[in-house]
A and B are shown apart, each in its own frame.
Chain A
Amino acid sequence: MNKKNNRSGSGNNRKSDLLEESLINPSRRNLLKGVGLVGAAAVSTIATSHVIAADSANMNSNSNAIAPREALEALTAEEAETLAAICDCLIPSDEHGPGAREARAVHYIDKSLASHNSGARYNYSVGLNAINEFARKTRGKSFTELLLDQQNSILLAVQTNKVSGFIPNGSGFFNMLRSHTIDGTFCDPYYGGNQDFVGWDMLRYPGIRLGASEADVSAGASLPPNHQSAYDHSTYTKLADNSLTDTEGGNGYA
């Protein structure tokens, strides 16, 4: 069941061309990652979730919107670049489809470090720096400049506590980072990750529904994905009118 048919726009073709090339040429791949963070990929795909957050009625329009204003809210530019390379290793964009990069996990993590996860912000600064220091010490280059295999071996060393300089230690930092990368790839798009629902499509999750019939459940992964955020449902948005909510309803699936 191929459910990756909902992404549209010419930018995708170009991205997948770049992706194929990057798989052959790792340094090209790293270049692409840099682009993805602040440049072309962000511009071509950000419109959708931005629109979702602002106005659910227009969610189906996307690619011709202008690039939204966007800040790095917590991370420095270099930290964001290092983090993007790490996220690429954790949930890669590969022959099986898009990964953390297309989901914009870094965008999610940056926003979360400026809000709900602000307690982890310092740990990120220390940890990302430790990874770069280790990369320079052992390979003579910053993490982002290394080949994929070299990056992976460094992350494995961090995960198995063979690198020092982390809070509380390498595996603790790695587990947190892994968990946040998963959150950013598979969360509700409202939070700035799971861009274009790539995470939910990856898992063949048919999406949030306010009710599921027995037929829906039986259909399972063959149920067409609805690609809706919780906040596409007006009931749950900030601006909802309490007198107009339909929460007393219920259409009797039981």
Chain B
Amino acid sequence: MPKRLAKTDVVIVGMGAAGGVAALPLTNAGLKVIGLEAGGWLSPRDFAPDELRNESRNWPQSVQKAASEAPTVRATASDTAIQGGHPMMNAVGGTTMHYWAQSWRLNPWDFKVVSETKKRYGESRIPEDTTVEDWPFGYEELEPYYDKIEYTVGISGQAGNVQGKKNTAGNIFEGERKREYPMKPLRSSPFTDLMGNAAESLGWNPFQGPAAITTELFDGRPPCQYHGFCNKGGCHVKAKSSTAFTVIPKAVDTGNLEVVTFARVTRIVTDDSGRVTGVDYIKGSETFFQPADVVLLASYAYENVRLLQLSTSRAFPNGLANNAGQVGKHYMTHHQGAPVTALFDRDLHNWYGLPAQGVAIDEWADDNFDHSDLDFIGGANLWVHTDRKPMSAAKMSTFDETRNWGSDWKAFIMKNADRTNSSYIQKTTLPYEGNYLDLDPVVKDPLGFPVTRITARYRDNEKRIAAFSQEKMEQWYLEAGAIKIVKYGLGNVMGATTHAYGGTRMGLNSETNVVDEWGFAHEVPNLGILGASVMGSSGSRNPTLTVQALSWRTAEYLANNWRSIAG
């Protein structure tokens, strides 16, 4: 029997990007919160500028709970699933420790894919088999929460639309925002200038994307030093606005948050009336039951879904909050693949760049361009950035100029190590029938629980966006003087990625969605779900800021409606 602990108001499962944010409005409201985190605390001392350790050996993620729970992947139900890598991070701060920190708001279209598409192009343009729905609210509803996160967590960027006033230095396609970012954007570089100028000569509107990275002294944290070891590494000066260095310490300072590290949650417990009563977790070799009035599940899309599916009970024989059979449905992984790589005839000066220091083009994203004569909806945000390390530079494409070893190859990389660039193209991805998460019937974690099985593949709409956006990317590179281009495959299987969406979708219809418009389960009034698992569309840009805005909103709603939700 698990050891029963003293009851708390709220238990949050996962102290990462989402759970860390939710803790602050709750504890500010005086609620007692226990944050269960499968990993431990990291400090800037842990973030050595070491490419081998961070990027090749994947040190931040390699020896954790999540490493033994990597999902299996297959394209269709008739394929055999094989275990792949995993993008999850067990640490206080979660993936915000080692992510690229690009912190976009979704564009207004992403909230209204169905209605806007019907209105502009007619119903026939909704792709076959997609299960996409409009969100239960529009961009305007989330705007104050985006603003709250930008100013609380610390986001740098250049606004493109402040109260309707467009500024071409920023993204002119973004939704209307109340005010500027709290910090100026990351600085430009010789490479971003090169690409920005090329975009302008094509008549496009280049801009520096937003980042959860300080560019000036902010809330006691120093600005980015541009040393360039952000990717798979944390920041050595806390310039990256991880929740571990921002909202979580603030919540701890209220005296109302207790963070329990190395706690592996195994089950969300329910009573016969269908309400959750707390969670079971393992710490060391002991099992505990942590009772709570409200549970907030915030453990990344895969683990959110898995914990619900594992938490069967008399009230929920098919998994918690799954009597409508919607847990695991409407799953998407952002189509981030199918890159374009370019070779230039001069050094690009990218040895000290970072993934979030780059140039964005939004002309071909979402519905920012006319799709009347095209055979897809949605689009892609084009992104090029400054980030180069020696091992990965040596592994660059050879552009068919030489085989990939030997004297000729060595001469090639000696000449070209700083002359190549690979684009990052994030594409609208839709949910479909047949793309879902369930429990793997064979593969189990060390505790004997099944791991998540991904069954999903990109469809024609995603592949057409990929092909279309590759053409645009090639055009951009050539305008900037690229001498060779390689385009990679359009994608097929949706493997586990850092941008996983759906599985506990948010929507008004309880027959097709797991959580309501506030993030609470339709079937379980005192269970809230945080993270991209509630998102019903991917957008064509990084999800974390949206995840955080939604998390703040759910937590604020909980604090404001405590009596009715806690019961």
Q: How far is the CA of A183 from the CA of B49 in the complex (A)?
A: 15
The answer to whether A205 and B393 have CB atoms under 8 Å apart is yes
Q: Is B56 an interface residue (CB 8 A)?
A: yes
**Using Cβ atoms and an 8 Å threshold, which residues of chain B touch A253?**
223-226
Q: Is B215 an interface residue (CB 8 A)?
A: yes
The answer to whether B227 and A212 have CB atoms under 8 Å apart is yes
The answer to whether A217 and B414 have CB atoms under 8 Å apart is no
8 Å CB interface, A198-219 against B? 199-200, 202-206, 208-214, 216-218
The answer to whether B352 and A216 have CB atoms under 8 Å apart is yes
Q: Is A60 an interface residue (CB 8 A)?
A: no
**Using Cβ atoms and an 8 Å threshold, which residues of chain A touch B418?**
203-204, 220-221
The contact of A254 among B216, B351, B352, B391, by CB within 8 Å, is: B216
**Using Cβ atoms and an 8 Å threshold, which residues of chain B touch A187?**
51-52, 56, 390-391
Q: Is B222 an interface residue (CB 8 A)?
A: yes
A99 with B225: in contact, given A186-B390, A250-B237 (CB under 8 Å)? no
A210 vs chain B, min Cβ distance (A): 5
The contact of A240 among B45, B53, B223, B391, by CB within 8 Å, is: B45
The answer to whether B52 and A183 have CB atoms under 8 Å apart is yes
The answer to whether B236 and A235 have CB atoms under 8 Å apart is yes
The answer to whether A251 and B225 have CB atoms under 8 Å apart is yes
A199 with B225: in contact, given A247-B45, A250-B237 (CB under 8 Å)? no
Q: Is A89 an interface residue (CB 8 A)?
A: yes
The answer to whether A203 and B352 have CB atoms under 8 Å apart is no
| Smallest CB gap from A96: residue in B | B411
8 Å CB interface, A139-198 against B? 152, 155-156, 178-179, 182-183, 185-188, 190-191
8 Å CB interface, A61-113 against B? 89-92, 94, 96-97, 99
8 Å CB interface, B346-404 against A? 347, 349, 351-353, 390-391, 393-395, 403-404
A217 with B190: in contact, given A187-B391, A230-B48, A254-B223 (CB under 8 Å)? yes
Q: How far is the CA of A33 from the CA of B227 in the complex (A)?
A: 37
In the complex, the number of residue pairs spanning A and B with C-beta atoms less than 8 Å apart equals: 157
A139 vs chain B, min Cβ distance (A): 19
**Using Cβ atoms and an 8 Å threshold, which residues of chain B touch A96?**
407, 410-411, 414
The answer to whether B347 and A212 have CB atoms under 8 Å apart is no
| Smallest CB gap from B188: residue in A | A214
**Using Cβ atoms and an 8 Å threshold, which residues of chain A touch B53?**
188
A92 with B49: in contact, given A211-B226, A217-B352, A221-B347 (CB under 8 Å)? no
A99 with B410: in contact, given A89-B405, A253-B223 (CB under 8 Å)? yes
Q: How far is the CA of A24 from the CA of B486 in the complex (A)?
A: 38
Q: Is A17 an interface residue (CB 8 A)?
A: no
| Smallest CB gap from A251: residue in B | B225
The contact of A203 among B226, B237, B393, by CB within 8 Å, is: B393
Q: How far is the CA of A230 from the CA of B233 in the complex (A)?
A: 13
The answer to whether B56 and A183 have CB atoms under 8 Å apart is yes
A196 vs chain B, min Cβ distance (A): 14
Q: How far is the CA of A25 from the CA of B190 in the complex (A)?
A: 46
The answer to whether A242 and B45 have CB atoms under 8 Å apart is yes
Q: Is A122 an interface residue (CB 8 A)?
A: no
Q: Is A118 an interface residue (CB 8 A)?
A: no
The answer to whether A250 and B239 have CB atoms under 8 Å apart is yes
The answer to whether A220 and B238 have CB atoms under 8 Å apart is no
Q: How far is the CA of A233 from the CA of B225 in the complex (A)?
A: 15
Interface string of B226-255 (1 = CB under 8 A from A): 111000000011110000000000000000
**Using Cβ atoms and an 8 Å threshold, which residues of chain A touch B225?**
210-212, 250-251, 253
A159 vs chain B, min Cβ distance (A): 8
Q: Is B187 an interface residue (CB 8 A)?
A: yes
Q: How far is the CA of A240 from the CA of B46 in the complex (A)?
A: 11
Q: How far is the CA of A250 from the CA of B215 in the complex (A)?
A: 11
Instruction: Mark B residues whose CB is within 8 Å of A.
Output: 43-45, 48-53, 56-57, 186-187, 189-190, 214-216, 222-228, 236-239, 347, 349, 351-353, 390-391, 393-395, 403-407, 410-411, 413-414, 417-418
9 contacts between A and B (CB under 8 A): A116-B57, A186-B390, A202-B410, A202-B413, A213-B226, A217-B226, A230-B48, A235-B45, A253-B223
